[in-house]
Structure formats: C-alpha cells, structure tokens
C-alpha cells in the first residue's frame, strides 16, 4: 500500500516515508541495513551473523538494493550507499529519540511545550546523556543548586532566557568575571529590563561593555529556560504558558550531548533572529 498525504506532499518527502514503512515491515531488511551500516560484509558473513538461510538473506539484500540503500563491491562484500548510510543514521537517531522520550516521559507530559517549534523539539529529544534532576523532601532546591554549581564552573555560556532570577544571573556574572568567560544571551525586552533594574552593581552593563556578554532581544521567545556551556547543558520548562517550574531540570553532562546542545542553541538563535 502506498501512503498519500497532503502533509507529506507539502512538508516532507513521501518516498522517504514509504521507504521507512518498507524497511520496518521486515525484521530481516532492518537488521541487514543496520548491520551493513556498521561494516561491510559478505553474504556468508551475514548468514553466519543472523543464522538465516542464504535465500532469506539474498531476498533481503535484493530488497535493499532495489531501494539503492546498498550495493555490492567487486570483492563480493555488501556496503551501504550514501543514501543507505543516511537512512540508517536516521533510524539510529529515531531509536535514540524514542528511548529518551520513554525515559523522561513524565517530564514531557507534565510541562507545556506548545511554544517550542516542532523542529526544535526533535533536536532536544535527541540529546545524549540526559538525566532528570528533581526536588525532593530533603533537598527542595536540588535542581537550582545543581545548576548553580555547574554554571560557576562554565566559561562559554549560551542561554535562552524567558524568565528572570537574580540568583541565576548573579551566578552567571560570577562565572564570567572569575573565569574570563562569555555569555551569548537570547531574551525578551521584559526580561532584559528586569535584569538591568535588579543589577545594583551594574555587572550586566559592564560585562556588555567589556564584550563578555552579547545579548539579543526578541519579541516572541519559547517557554524554555535553556543553558549550554562547556561544562553542561540544562532545560527548565513551564507548567503552562505562565508558570515556570524550577523543581525539575533536565541535565546533560556528556560531551556528545553538550555538542548537540550547542548545535541546538545556534540553530534556534538563527531561527528566532531571522
């Protein structure tokens, strides 16, 4: 059955969706593609790996060849094509996304994400090394304390700031001054005014003057308090359109996840400033 949809006709590649359905409909095709994505193999090696008869393996390989996902080399080894590599890579990312969403299901269910564009929700859900930091009876301010401990060790800080907290901003100033750091900030006029008004020592203006802070004021900012630095990345969300939740934070502390978070920030910044 071929799927037809106005959504895919306007927003995506319908062939890609049908290819995905074709691959996922067969365990053999899926396993073969992912195996060849890892390394080139002969048909004998694949038969041994999957303990399947040559006829089953051959049919699966021919199906993948018909989609131009794999090809056969002169040395008789099968190898993924560029298209096959990209398709397998996206399947791998899809599995990671589902795993992350499943592990943090309650966090996403309990918070509002309507203001975050779908394209960026996909990026956030694929961060690696994500864990939840929550308040508890004995340590009510645990997420805030973990955030402050990490920000004070940071140097290259990027931040999406839809809320104001003097505690958070003072910790950023401390990091910028003590560690010769830099802050790249996206915020709104309302939050900017609160920052300046509350800063009796004029740290913000002085750091802007010394080129340690670059800030960008936008009219419509997503309800996500997002920070990424060379030490960590974090996400705080809102319960609804106006109530901020500081009782739970998503924390990223793996290098690959931090790299993902930097890419997310600069992609979002380009999007919001266009």
Q: How far apart are CA 50 and CA 45, in angstroms?
A: 9
Query: Which residue, 273, 258, 181, is CA-closest to 227?
Result: 258
Q: How far apart are CA 26 and CA 60, in angstroms?
A: 9
Residues 6+ apart with CB under 8 A from 67: 19, 22, 23, 84
Residue 265 has pLDDT above 90, yes or no: yes
Residue 123 near residue 263, CB atoms below 8 Å: yes
pLDDT digits (tens, 9 = 90+) for 179-231: 999 999 999 999 999 999 999 899 999 999 999 999 999 998 999 999 999 99
Residue 185 near residue 214, CB atoms below 8 Å: yes
Mode of pairing for the β-strands spanning 156-161 and 182-187: parallel
- Region of poorest pLDDT, from 9-23, 43-57, 106-120, 242-256: 9-23
The mean of the pLDDT values for the chain is 85
pLDDT digits (tens, 9 = 90+) for 100-121: 555 567 787 888 888 888 888 8
Residue 253 near residue 237, CB atoms below 8 Å: no
Residue 246 near residue 143, CB atoms below 8 Å: yes
Q: How far apart are CA 129 and CA 194, in angstroms?
A: 33
- Band the pLDDT of 97: cuts 50, 70, 90: low
Q: How far apart are CA 231 and CA 169, in angstroms?
A: 17
Between 18 and 43, where is the model more confident? 43
pLDDT digits (tens, 9 = 90+) for 77-90: 999 888 888 887 77
- Band the pLDDT of 236: cuts 50, 70, 90: very high
Residues 6+ apart with CB under 8 A from 255: none
Q: Full-prediction pTM beyond 0.75?
A: no
Burial class (CB in 10 A: 0-12, 13-18, 19+), 78: buried
- Region of poorest pLDDT, from 67-76, 196-205, 262-271: 67-76
Between 222 and 93, where is the model more confident? 222
Q: How far apart are CA 266 and CA 262, in angstroms?
A: 6
Residue 14 has pLDDT above 70, yes or no: no
Residue 137 has pLDDT above 90, yes or no: no
Q: Residue 100 pairs with which residues in a beta bridge? A: none
Between 143 and 21, where is the model more confident? 143
Position 112 scores a pLDDT of: 87
3-state secondary structure of 8: helix
Q: How far apart are CA 37 and CA 46, in angstroms?
A: 13
Residue 170 has pLDDT above 90, yes or no: yes
Give the mean pLDDT of 242-248: 91
Mode of pairing for the β-strands spanning 213-217 and 78-80: unpaired
Position 156 scores a pLDDT of: 98
Give the mean pLDDT of 165-178: 94
């Amino acid at each position: 059955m071929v799927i037809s949809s106005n959504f895919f006709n306007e927003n995506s590649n319908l062939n890609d969706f049908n290819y995905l359905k074709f691959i996922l409909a067969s365990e053999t095709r899926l396993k073969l593609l992912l195996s060849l994505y890892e390394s080139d193999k002969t048909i004998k090696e694949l038969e041994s790996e999957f303990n399947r008869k040559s006829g089953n393996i051959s049919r699966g390989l021919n199906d993948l060849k018909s989609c131009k996902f794999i090809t056969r080399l002169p040395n008789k080894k099968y190898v993924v094509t560029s298209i096959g590599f990209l398709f397998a890579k996206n399947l791998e990312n899809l599995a990671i996304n589902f795993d992350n969403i499943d592990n943090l299901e309650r966090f996403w269910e309990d918070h509002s994400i309507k203001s975050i564009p779908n394209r960026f929700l996909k990026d956030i859900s694929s961060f690696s090394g994500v864990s939840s930091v929550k308040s508890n009876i004995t340590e009510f301010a645990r997420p805030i304390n973990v955030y402050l401990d990490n920000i004070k060790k940071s140097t290259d800080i990027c931040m999406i700031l839809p809320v104001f907290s003097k505690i958070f901003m003072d910790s950023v100033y401390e990091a910028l001054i003590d560690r010769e750091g830099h802050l790249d900030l996206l915020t709104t006029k309302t939050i900017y005014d609160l920052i300046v008004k509350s800063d009796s020592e004029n740290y913000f203006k002085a750091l802007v003057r010394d080129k340690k802070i670059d800030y960008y004021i936008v009219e419509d900012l997503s309800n996500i308090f997002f920070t990424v630095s060379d030490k960590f990345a974090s996400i705080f969300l809102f319960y609804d359109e106006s109530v901020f939740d500081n009782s739970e934070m998503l924390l990223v502390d793996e290098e690959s996840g931090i790299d993902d978070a930097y890419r997310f920030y600069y992609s979002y910044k380009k999007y919001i400033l266009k």
